[in-house]
Amino acid sequence: MAKNENLNSAAKNKNDEFYTQFDDIQRELNCYLDYDKNVFRDKTILLPCDDPVYSNFTKFFALNFDFYGLKKLISTSYAPNSKKFIFQPMANLFDEESPVFDASKENSHGKLYTLDRESIKTKPYPVDAVKLDRYLDGDGDFRSKEVSKLRDEADVIITNPPFSLFRQFLKWIMDANKKFLIIGNINCITYSEVFPLIKENKIWLGHGMGRWISGFIVPEGYELYGTEARINKYGERIVATNQCLWLTNLEQGKRHRPITFNTMAENIKFCRHKDVKGKSILYAKYDNYDAIEVPYTDLIPCDYEGVMGVPITFLDKYCPEQFEIVGATESEGKGFSNGLWDSDSTSAQATVNGKKVYKRIFIRHRQK
């Protein structure tokens, strides 16, 4: 393997060990509760790819078990020996008190933790009542038969899955037709496994993206550098990526709130984006797509009836009652443009006067 390839996969696999902050989980989850206070009532929630001892997901749902009216919480961990990078202490002192604790399986097996309506009554604090139920037969790989069986038993699947297996993870959920809420990279929007589902309104972005997710916990040994690294109020080591989003098929209110836009003439006159103000690129017809270029979401004209190319971050503001998603640039997937692409063109990326623009999604206003 080439040296660079090694480094790339190392970087990728390290990202698999980014852990989610409690406050970020809380901020996102509150939005679903605001929309429907019974969203999790009588539901079994599965938290796979977790490490219940360290995971804020497990802690968060245990603390809210009664408030949410949950039926059962299931959380599974991935064996330390199977992880590409181990940042955490291998031994878990907390589990040593469990009657099923087996030191010989600690590093090689995944673990299954549960909390239900009966067991929550056994301890004064709900988090203490989360118990190590048993070791899994295998390492806790979400693709295994035993974890897939837990998936089938669950109503909702919630986690921050390994970034390097994101596509497989989403497919694993969709194959079982489950409700879910997961974290992914912003670029996942245009994956061939993701975009068609967004276009068909089967899945959508959660409440927040980018800075809304304020950073991930990285364990000791992960080098912190640059302005994007810090220690949070709990003393946890944080890297902020500004590159992530929540993806879901749970309803939330924000996506049903239409946004008010100016007319094309107003935008041309009052545009606040200096890089495009007065430039021919603004609203130019693409060389190779039957659509016009809208370089910023806030510049979508309210009075244009044709197809517009917008940045992928538009989806953060997407209201399906207001806009129809027509497609995306062919560079993201064959056939994605829904016939808008000039197939004689040598570029699958959209161009204006020969100059390539970044990834674009094609939309149009819904007819009133």
The length of the chain is 368
> Residue 330, interface with ligand SAM (CB under 6 A)?
no
Nearest to 325 by CA among 218, 202, 241, 175: 202
Q: How far is the CB of 110 from ligand SAM (least distance, A)?
A: 7
Q: Which is nearer to ligand SAM, 50 or 332 (CB)?
A: 50
Which residues lie below 8 Å from residue 272, measured CB to CB, with a gap of 6+? none
Tell me whether residue 159 or residue 288 sits nearer to ligand SAM (CB atom). 159
Taking alpha carbons only, the member of 163, 148, 121, 140 closest to residue 16 is 163
CB of 112 to ligand SAM, least distance (A): 12
51 near ligand SAM, rule: CB under 6 A = yes
Binding status of residue 95 toward ligand SAM by CB under 6 A: no
Residues 153-192: x/- map of binding to ligand SAM (CB under 6 A)? ------xxxx--x---------------------------
Provide the minimum distance between the beta carbon of 72 and ligand SAM in the complex, in angstroms, as a whole number: 18
Interface with ligand SAM (CB under 6 A), residue from 24, 95, 106, 141? 141
Pairing label, strands 308-310, 292-293: parallel
Cβ neighbours of residue 186 under 8 Å, at least 6 residues apart?
209, 210, 243, 244, 245, 312, 313
Instruction: Tell me: does residue 16 bind ligand SAM (CB under 6 A).
Output: yes
Min separation Cβ 212 and ligand SAM, Å: 15
Q: Quote the tokens at residue 174.
A: 């969709």
291 neighbors 340 (Cβ within 8 angstroms)? yes
Q: How far is the CB of 46 from ligand SAM (least distance, A)?
A: 12
Contact between 24 and ligand SAM per CB under 6 A: no
Scanning the chain, the segments in alpha helix (DSSP H) are 3-15, 22-35, 56-63, 65-68, 126-129, 145-153, 166-175, 195-199, 264-270
